[in-house]
Structure 1
Amino acid sequence: MTAAAVAATPPHIVPAPSFAHLARLTDDTGLFEHARHAIPRREHGYCTDDVARGLVVTSREADPSRQVLRLAERYLAFLTHAQDAQGAFHNRLGFNRSWADQPSLGDWWGRALWGLGTAAARSPAAWIREEALLAFTRGATCRSAAPRAMAFAALGAAEMLRADPDNEPAADLLTDAAAAIGRPGLDPRWPWPDDRLTYANAALAEALIAAGDLLADPAALAAGLRMLTWLLEIQTSGDHLSVLPSAGWQRGGPRLRHDQQPIEVAALADACATAAVVTGDRDWRHGVGRCIAWFLGENDADHAMWDQGTGGGYDGLTLQGVNLNQGAESTLALIATLQHR
């Protein structure tokens, strides 16, 4: 990637990530999934997917406030409650505190390991690191049949290996995840391992980049960088990001422009930040800047994708304009992206 491939992002006053709305969405059990504008919708309950991402962003804070540390504690407690003895996870918990599903190895398993690995590697609280490591190690014995779930788990394994290069469960998991993701084909018009792009696509590229770096696998690193370069190119329109919609994009099919979800932007920001660190090429920071700018208004709607008053992230760009609801996923995506400022 070169500076010519992705032009520098226009300057913005970039705010620090705010955890105010995340705290508003959190009670003593977990993190509410949905909101009507800024008000939590309790009837939809909680999900492991979002709680795990909450643990990721709270654990990334090098000097967390007491509020942020309390959030991390609640998210960790939720995840350990969601995990069964074999390492799988429930995903959906009702407001009545009853699980609506059986433990399994879907995306939520992968994201739970991402959160637990990040907490075990980065939390300043020793007891959080210890408990997160126990739960991570149990979950890391499992393998999902879904490449995307394996990619999310790989991000947690990568965090563990950066903190402890001798962690064998993390190394084995990262190795198997890289194999599950696969490699892009030779066609330069579609350098992707699958015939369809769906959601959080950049997480797959980031997992390969991390595997290439931490497992000394140059082929995986090259594949991940090639995939990420393409993702950034096809999701840049003029001077701003125009990310793939929630419907995805089938190879050879038409590409829609809506509904665009903040999770795509956050995954791209994470992957570009990782690529910048691994390669030492600061041109990848231009990609991070594009992602930050998307939330600040450099997007197809020319509209800020967050509420300065609440600190919440808006749920998406639709054909009718901005979805002003401020659910957990979009707020977490905002926080995660601003953490790379």
Structure 2
Amino acid sequence: MIATDGRPTTTAGSPVTGHRLDVPAPSFAHLARLSDDTGLFEHARHAIVRREHGYCTDDVARGLVVTSREPEPTGAVLRLAECYLAFLTHAQDARGAFHNRLGHDRRWADESGLGDWWGRALWGLGTAVARSPAAWIREEALVAFSAGAVRRSPAPHAMAFAGLGAVEVLRRHPTHPAAAALLADAATTIGTPQGDPRWPWPQQRLTYASAALAEVVIVASQLRHDGPLLDSGLRMLAWLRDVQLRDGRLSVVPAAGWGRGAVRLRHDQQPIEVAALADACATAATVTGDPGWETGVRQAVGWFLGDNDVGTPMWDPATGGGYDGLTPHGPNLNQGAESTLALISTLQHARRWS
């Protein structure tokens, strides 16, 4: 099969129907459309970039993750990675924290800090250190990662994203002390489930990108002898996967979140949840060798291709962009950076498990 942009596709069975789904190869066409020589614009109206909303480190960092994951990047993808790396090094202050929001006028709209964007910046930098084929990208990313890895955030999500970056660095540099310490501290900040099997989660509320927390607990148990038990992370992820299934299809926790004992809403579902689950299930499959986790990856791919609560594709084949959210009436047709990055990230896993 050939995708609409001329790239080859693979096929995979729908987790629900068993029908064969044409799985497109990741396309960077819309990501390039959202990017300029400074960075990656955050928002779009349909497929048209909204420059007035500027750039954010959160998205640029995720851009560096997906461009660095490409095993044989084209020249265009490599140039995107270099642009995103330059943005992150510009966003970093002398103490290792990061600014998050840059206006189209190239002025920072915030002070540097240690929010989610700090964690995601380290995730992007760590992925570039481990996976980029370009030596100059790997070297500069390691300098910036090492400067940021000495800082700590009190927020579990920020530490989880930073921990994912630390894991990447340790795969290429197993004795990197700052990465090892950061990963251990990330797992400690996240915590492990309490004894109640009805809610095996460290926090009393699921908010966003929850699977990333379970993923860090899983990998910390493998890379640090004094890390949390592997069983704790797998129990967290198995429960999260199972509670986000409806009739065999993914029905992820919506943007409003879900608290223990509360009524769970079905919309507005966000692509970031699907991508985080795909990442975590892929990691669990690799760590454990259990092929059962591959089903979670396939379900995430299926969500984008139409195996979801509304039965509609969550991407635009004409542009390569991901839709911003799943509403009761269908997709939000805006194709911003976060949703497009989530699509690319999930399809990258499909190469291995489709």
- Please give the TM-score of this superposition, normalised by the length of structure 2: 0.93
Of 68, 74, 91, the residue aligned with 1:59 is: 68
Taking the TM superposition and a 5 Å limit, the aligned residue runs for 1:125-144 are 125-144=134-153
Q: Give the match's secondary structure for 2:272.
A: helix
Map Cα deviations across residues 161-214 of structure 1 (whole Å, 9 max, x no partner). 111111111000000000000011111110000000000000000011110111
1:311 aligns with 2:320: yes
Aligned partners of 1:235 and 1:277: how far apart in 2? 22
Q: Give the match's secondary structure for 1:124.
A: coil
Aligned partners of 2:306 and 2:226: how far apart in 1? 38
- Cα 1:82–1:339 shift into 2, 3 Å: same
Taking the TM superposition and a 5 Å limit, the aligned residue runs for 1:256-271 are 256-271=265-280
Partner of 2:10: none
Partner of 2:329: 320
Q: Give the match's secondary structure for 1:52.
A: helix
Map Cα deviations across residues 212-243 of structure 1 (whole Å, 9 max, x no partner). 11113574321110000001000011121000
Partner of 1:47: 56
Partner of 1:3: none
Runs (4+) off by over 6 Å: 6-9
| Superposed CA RMSD | 1.2
1:288 aligns with 2:297: yes
Q: Give the match's secondary structure for 2:23.
A: coil
Letter in 1 for 2:257: G
Partner of 2:122: 113
Letter in 2 for 1:302: G
What displacement does 1:10 show? 4.7
Q: Give the match's secondary structure for 1:138.
A: helix
Q: Give the match's secondary structure for 1:339.
A: helix
Aligned partners of 1:111 and 1:36: how far apart in 2? 25
Of 21, 31, 34, the residue aligned with 2:43 is: 34
Letter in 2 for 1:36: R
Contact 1:48 1:112 in 2 (8 A): yes
Aligned partners of 1:26 and 1:72: how far apart in 2? 11
Aligned partners of 2:281 and 2:213: how far apart in 1? 12
Contact 2:244 2:252 in 1 (8 A): yes
Contact 1:232 1:287 in 2 (8 A): yes
Contact 1:9 1:286 in 2 (8 A): no
What displacement does 1:322 show? 1.0
Partner of 2:241: 232
Q: Give the match's secondary structure for 1:317.
A: strand
Taking the TM superposition and a 5 Å limit, the aligned residue runs for 1:173-322 are 173-217=182-226, 219-322=228-331
Letter in 2 for 1:42: R
Contact 2:310 2:329 in 1 (8 A): no
Contact 1:200 1:264 in 2 (8 A): yes
The answer to which of 314-323 and 186-195 deviates more is 314-323
Contact 2:116 2:157 in 1 (8 A): yes
Q: Give the match's secondary structure for 1:283.
A: helix
Aligned partners of 1:220 and 1:7: how far apart in 2? 32
Partner of 2:98: 89
Map Cα deviations across residues 100-154 of structure 1 (whole Å, 9 max, x no partner). 0000000000000000000011100000000000000000000001011000000
1:151 aligns with 2:160: yes
Contact 1:8 1:286 in 2 (8 A): no
Letter in 2 for 1:195: Q
Aligned partners of 2:344 and 2:328: how far apart in 1? 25
Contact 1:9 1:290 in 2 (8 A): no
Partner of 1:171: 180
Letter in 2 for 1:62: P
Letter in 2 for 1:154: G
Q: Give the match's secondary structure for 2:90.
A: helix
- Please give the TM-score of this superposition, normalised by the length of structure 1: 0.97
Aligned partners of 1:275 and 1:11: how far apart in 2? 25
Contact 2:212 2:280 in 1 (8 A): yes
Q: Point out where structure 1 has 5 or more consecutive residues left out of the alignment.
A: 1-5
Q: Give the match's secondary structure for 2:322.
A: coil
Partner of 2:88: 79
Partner of 1:124: 133
Aligned partners of 1:93 and 1:268: how far apart in 2? 29
Letter in 2 for 1:231: L
What displacement does 1:321 show? 2.2
Letter in 1 for 2:177: E
The number of residues matched between the two structures is 336
Identity %: 71
Letter in 2 for 1:279: T
